[in-house]
Amino acid sequence: MGTYLMLGSGAFWILTYILLIQRGFKDQTYGMPLVALCANLSWEFIFSFIHPHQPPQLQINIVWLMLDLIILYGFFKFGQSELKDIPNKLFYPVFILTLFTSFCCVLLITDEFQDWSGAYTAFGQNLLMSILFIDMLTKRNTVRGQSIFIAIFKMIGTLLASIGFYINHPTQGRSLLFIFLYTAIFVFDLIYVGMVAMKIKRFREKKLNHALTRQ
Protein backbone atom coordinates (compact mmCIF):
# COMPACT_ATOMS: atom_id res chain seq x y z
CA MET A 1 0.00 0.00 0.00
CA GLY A 2 2.74 2.43 0.98
CA THR A 3 4.64 1.79 -2.27
CA TYR A 4 1.56 2.59 -4.36
CA LEU A 5 1.08 5.81 -2.40
CA MET A 6 4.67 6.85 -3.08
CA LEU A 7 4.22 6.08 -6.79
CA GLY A 8 1.02 8.12 -6.77
CA SER A 9 2.91 10.96 -5.12
CA GLY A 10 5.56 10.79 -7.84
CA ALA A 11 2.89 10.92 -10.55
CA PHE A 12 1.13 13.95 -9.03
CA TRP A 13 4.42 15.81 -8.66
CA ILE A 14 5.27 15.06 -12.29
CA LEU A 15 1.90 16.56 -13.26
CA THR A 16 2.64 19.56 -11.04
CA TYR A 17 5.98 20.16 -12.76
CA ILE A 18 4.46 19.80 -16.23
CA LEU A 19 1.73 22.31 -15.40
CA LEU A 20 4.30 24.70 -13.88
CA ILE A 21 6.30 24.54 -17.12
CA GLN A 22 3.23 25.01 -19.30
CA ARG A 23 1.83 27.88 -17.25
CA GLY A 24 5.21 29.56 -16.82
CA PHE A 25 5.88 29.78 -20.56
CA LYS A 26 2.29 30.84 -21.22
CA ASP A 27 2.48 33.69 -18.69
CA GLN A 28 6.16 34.39 -19.47
CA THR A 29 7.32 33.95 -15.91
CA TYR A 30 8.85 31.30 -13.69
CA GLY A 31 6.50 29.13 -11.67
CA MET A 32 8.72 27.99 -8.80
CA PRO A 33 10.48 30.24 -6.27
CA LEU A 34 14.28 30.33 -6.61
CA VAL A 35 15.16 28.73 -3.26
CA ALA A 36 12.60 25.96 -3.75
CA LEU A 37 13.91 25.30 -7.27
CA CYS A 38 17.52 25.08 -6.10
CA ALA A 39 16.57 22.78 -3.22
CA ASN A 40 14.64 20.54 -5.62
CA LEU A 41 17.49 20.37 -8.13
CA SER A 42 19.93 19.53 -5.36
CA TRP A 43 17.77 16.80 -3.79
CA GLU A 44 16.95 15.18 -7.12
CA PHE A 45 20.58 15.16 -8.30
CA ILE A 46 21.89 13.78 -5.00
CA PHE A 47 19.33 10.99 -4.78
CA SER A 48 19.68 10.14 -8.45
CA PHE A 49 23.48 10.01 -8.72
CA ILE A 50 25.29 10.42 -5.37
CA HIS A 51 23.02 8.41 -3.09
CA PRO A 52 20.73 6.82 -5.69
CA HIS A 53 17.42 5.41 -4.56
CA GLN A 54 16.19 1.99 -5.56
CA PRO A 55 13.81 1.66 -8.54
CA PRO A 56 11.17 2.81 -9.20
CA GLN A 57 11.90 5.87 -7.02
CA LEU A 58 15.21 6.36 -8.83
CA GLN A 59 13.44 6.71 -12.18
CA ILE A 60 10.95 9.13 -10.63
CA ASN A 61 13.82 11.23 -9.25
CA ILE A 62 15.43 11.43 -12.68
CA VAL A 63 12.14 12.46 -14.34
CA TRP A 64 11.69 15.14 -11.65
CA LEU A 65 15.24 16.37 -12.31
CA MET A 66 14.68 16.63 -16.06
CA LEU A 67 11.46 18.58 -15.54
CA ASP A 68 13.10 20.87 -12.99
CA LEU A 69 15.83 21.65 -15.52
CA ILE A 70 13.10 22.90 -17.88
CA ILE A 71 11.66 24.98 -15.03
CA LEU A 72 15.19 26.29 -14.47
CA TYR A 73 15.38 27.31 -18.14
CA GLY A 74 12.15 29.28 -17.64
CA PHE A 75 13.66 30.91 -14.56
CA PHE A 76 16.71 32.01 -16.56
CA LYS A 77 14.50 33.22 -19.41
CA PHE A 78 12.04 35.27 -17.36
CA GLY A 79 13.61 35.66 -13.91
CA GLN A 80 15.60 38.84 -14.45
CA SER A 81 12.49 40.83 -15.31
CA GLU A 82 10.67 39.44 -12.25
CA LEU A 83 13.37 39.81 -9.58
CA LYS A 84 13.78 43.55 -9.76
CA ASP A 85 15.48 43.69 -6.34
CA ILE A 86 18.46 41.79 -7.76
CA PRO A 87 20.72 43.79 -10.16
CA ASN A 88 21.14 42.08 -13.52
CA LYS A 89 24.88 41.61 -13.01
CA LEU A 90 24.17 39.71 -9.76
CA PHE A 91 21.37 37.52 -11.15
CA TYR A 92 23.55 34.52 -12.03
CA PRO A 93 25.90 34.84 -9.01
CA VAL A 94 22.83 34.85 -6.72
CA PHE A 95 21.52 31.74 -8.45
CA ILE A 96 24.89 29.94 -8.18
CA LEU A 97 25.21 30.86 -4.48
CA THR A 98 21.65 29.69 -3.77
CA LEU A 99 22.19 26.41 -5.62
CA PHE A 100 25.55 25.80 -3.91
CA THR A 101 24.06 26.48 -0.48
CA SER A 102 21.04 24.24 -1.17
CA PHE A 103 23.23 21.42 -2.48
CA CYS A 104 25.55 21.54 0.54
CA CYS A 105 22.62 21.61 2.97
CA VAL A 106 20.93 18.58 1.42
CA LEU A 107 24.16 16.60 1.09
CA LEU A 108 25.53 17.39 4.56
CA ILE A 109 22.22 16.81 6.36
CA THR A 110 21.95 13.47 4.56
CA ASP A 111 25.48 12.45 5.58
CA GLU A 112 25.16 13.81 9.14
CA PHE A 113 21.99 11.83 9.88
CA GLN A 114 22.83 8.96 7.50
CA ASP A 115 19.40 9.53 6.00
CA TRP A 116 19.84 7.61 2.75
CA SER A 117 16.09 7.83 2.05
CA GLY A 118 16.41 11.63 1.94
CA ALA A 119 13.30 11.98 4.07
CA TYR A 120 14.52 14.74 6.38
CA THR A 121 15.56 17.00 3.53
CA ALA A 122 12.60 16.02 1.32
CA PHE A 123 9.90 16.91 3.83
CA GLY A 124 11.89 19.83 5.25
CA GLN A 125 12.29 21.50 1.86
CA ASN A 126 8.69 20.61 1.01
CA LEU A 127 7.53 22.68 3.97
CA LEU A 128 9.83 25.48 2.84
CA MET A 129 8.40 25.23 -0.67
CA SER A 130 4.81 25.41 0.57
CA ILE A 131 5.59 28.63 2.44
CA LEU A 132 7.55 30.10 -0.50
CA PHE A 133 4.69 29.49 -2.93
CA ILE A 134 2.39 31.48 -0.63
CA ASP A 135 5.01 34.22 -0.40
CA MET A 136 5.38 34.34 -4.19
CA LEU A 137 1.62 34.55 -4.69
CA THR A 138 1.37 37.35 -2.13
CA LYS A 139 4.19 39.38 -3.68
CA ARG A 140 2.91 38.99 -7.24
CA ASN A 141 -0.70 39.54 -6.17
CA THR A 142 -1.75 37.55 -9.27
CA VAL A 143 -1.81 33.89 -10.29
CA ARG A 144 0.78 34.41 -13.05
CA GLY A 145 2.72 31.19 -13.41
CA GLN A 146 0.25 29.41 -11.13
CA SER A 147 -3.12 27.69 -11.39
CA ILE A 148 -5.60 25.95 -9.14
CA PHE A 149 -4.57 22.57 -10.58
CA ILE A 150 -0.91 23.23 -9.78
CA ALA A 151 -1.86 24.03 -6.20
CA ILE A 152 -4.15 20.99 -5.84
CA PHE A 153 -1.76 18.50 -7.49
CA LYS A 154 1.12 19.80 -5.36
CA MET A 155 -0.97 19.27 -2.24
CA ILE A 156 -2.11 15.77 -3.24
CA GLY A 157 1.41 14.73 -4.25
CA THR A 158 2.86 15.63 -0.86
CA LEU A 159 -0.12 14.24 1.06
CA LEU A 160 0.30 10.85 -0.63
CA ALA A 161 4.06 10.94 0.11
CA SER A 162 3.31 11.74 3.76
CA ILE A 163 0.88 8.85 4.15
CA GLY A 164 3.17 6.50 2.21
CA PHE A 165 6.21 7.36 4.34
CA TYR A 166 4.14 7.00 7.52
CA ILE A 167 3.12 3.48 6.44
CA ASN A 168 6.49 2.34 5.06
CA HIS A 169 8.60 3.59 8.00
CA PRO A 170 6.77 2.73 11.24
CA THR A 171 9.57 4.14 13.43
CA GLN A 172 11.10 7.15 11.65
CA GLY A 173 7.96 8.05 9.71
CA ARG A 174 5.82 8.19 12.85
CA SER A 175 8.13 10.38 14.92
CA LEU A 176 6.82 13.68 16.26
CA LEU A 177 9.08 15.57 13.84
CA PHE A 178 7.66 13.89 10.76
CA ILE A 179 4.08 14.11 12.02
CA PHE A 180 4.66 17.85 12.48
CA LEU A 181 6.11 18.13 8.96
CA TYR A 182 3.21 16.20 7.38
CA THR A 183 0.67 18.37 9.18
CA ALA A 184 2.41 21.70 8.58
CA ILE A 185 2.91 21.02 4.86
CA PHE A 186 -0.73 20.03 4.42
CA VAL A 187 -1.96 23.12 6.28
CA PHE A 188 0.18 25.51 4.21
CA ASP A 189 -0.77 23.69 1.00
CA LEU A 190 -4.43 24.01 1.92
CA ILE A 191 -3.95 27.72 2.57
CA TYR A 192 -2.22 28.05 -0.79
CA VAL A 193 -5.06 26.29 -2.62
CA GLY A 194 -7.55 28.62 -0.92
CA MET A 195 -5.51 31.72 -1.80
CA VAL A 196 -5.18 30.70 -5.46
CA ALA A 197 -8.90 29.96 -5.67
CA MET A 198 -9.69 33.36 -4.12
CA LYS A 199 -7.35 35.19 -6.51
CA ILE A 200 -8.96 33.46 -9.51
CA LYS A 201 -12.46 34.26 -8.23
CA ARG A 202 -11.62 37.93 -7.72
CA PHE A 203 -10.02 38.17 -11.15
CA ARG A 204 -13.10 36.68 -12.82
CA GLU A 205 -15.41 38.99 -10.87
CA LYS A 206 -13.30 41.99 -11.83
CA LYS A 207 -13.28 40.92 -15.47
CA LEU A 208 -17.04 40.40 -15.42
CA ASN A 209 -17.69 43.79 -13.80
CA HIS A 210 -15.42 45.44 -16.37
CA ALA A 211 -17.34 43.77 -19.21
CA LEU A 212 -20.69 44.86 -17.74
CA THR A 213 -19.44 48.42 -17.29
CA ARG A 214 -18.35 48.62 -20.92
CA GLN A 215 -21.83 47.49 -22.02
Backbone φ and ψ of 115, nearest 5°? -95, 80
Contact call for residues 150 and 19 (beta carbons, < 8 A): yes
Q: How confident is the model at residue 152 (pLDDT cuts 50, 70, 90)?
A: very high
Determine what percent of the chain is predicted with pLDDT higher than 90: 85
- Which pTM was predicted? 0.93
| DSSP 8-state symbol, 49 | I
Model confidence pLDDT, tens digit, residues 69-105: 999 999 999 999 888 888 889 999 999 999 999 999 9
